[in-house]
Amino acid sequence: MLKANRSVGASVILFLLTALPAAGQELSKEEKDTGFVAMFTGKDLSGWEYLGKSTSPFSLQDGAIHYKGGNGWLCYTVKEYPDFELRCDFKLIKKGGDGGIFFRASKDSAGGANWPSQRYELQVKDYPEQGRLWNLPYELDKETVAKVRKPLGEWETYRLIVQGNKVEAHLNGARVVTSDKAKPGKEGYIGLQAEGGEQAFRNLRVRPLKP
């Protein structure tokens, strides 16, 4: 009887570990109340599609989306978001790592670089201009970036707000970059870029915004 009880207990523990979201992936009450949805469960990469010519460098490790080396991008295919707020944690694991968060992106991988042919990008890179934007003019507060950046290997947070022609990003709670030059009303996907190095992402959540 004791052996049977142990077996049942082990089965219950296994069920809880596989059925519940990974720690930290669950939405807060504030996020639920304001319309956020989780983009990643911490258990698998469902809802995400690798777009690139080579083997995908993305994998699931320790409840996070991880990549090491390679060139390509991971597209969140569940829905297109022209106007949205995105929140996530990211970690630069090795010095010199380069990556990014694509938004308003087309679902393709054009040319030899394996990036979407149409996209904007919020940089996730090991350099002093962390938080800069790509493919549109921007204003970056480098002094604030220097103050709020965390050491290599520590988790950091991004909050990206895209609405009409305006884009702004917050790094570890501080607004560091703004732009009012985005093309409004443009449908597009959100995705994660791998461009060498090693990085991880977790706690990805998004909510649509009105134009």
Backbone angle region of 148, left / alpha / beta, with phi > 0 → left and psi within -120 to 50 → alpha? alpha
Q: Which residues sit opposite 89 in a β-bridge?
A: 157, 202
Average pLDDT over residues 34-40: 96
Q: Which of 14-18, 83-87, 186-190 has the lowest mean pLDDT?
A: 14-18
Comparing C-alpha atoms, which of 121, 129, 119, 127 is closest to residue 176?
A: 129
Residue 67 has a pLDDT of 95
What's the rounded Cα separation, in Å, for the pair 199 and 69? 9
pLDDT tens per residue across span 75-87: 999 999 999 999 9
Q: How far is CA 14 from the centre of its chain?
A: 28
Greater pLDDT, 59 or 11 = 59
Residue 109 has a pLDDT of 87
Q: Which of 13-17, 55-59, 136-140, 149-153 has the lowest mean pLDDT?
A: 13-17
What's the rounded Cα separation, in Å, for the pair 104 and 118? 8
Residue 10 has a pLDDT of 46
In this prediction the pTM is 0.88
CB of 84 closer than 8 Å to CB of 206: yes
Residue 125 has a pLDDT of 94
Indicate whether 15 pLDDT > 80: no
Residue 185 has a pLDDT of 82
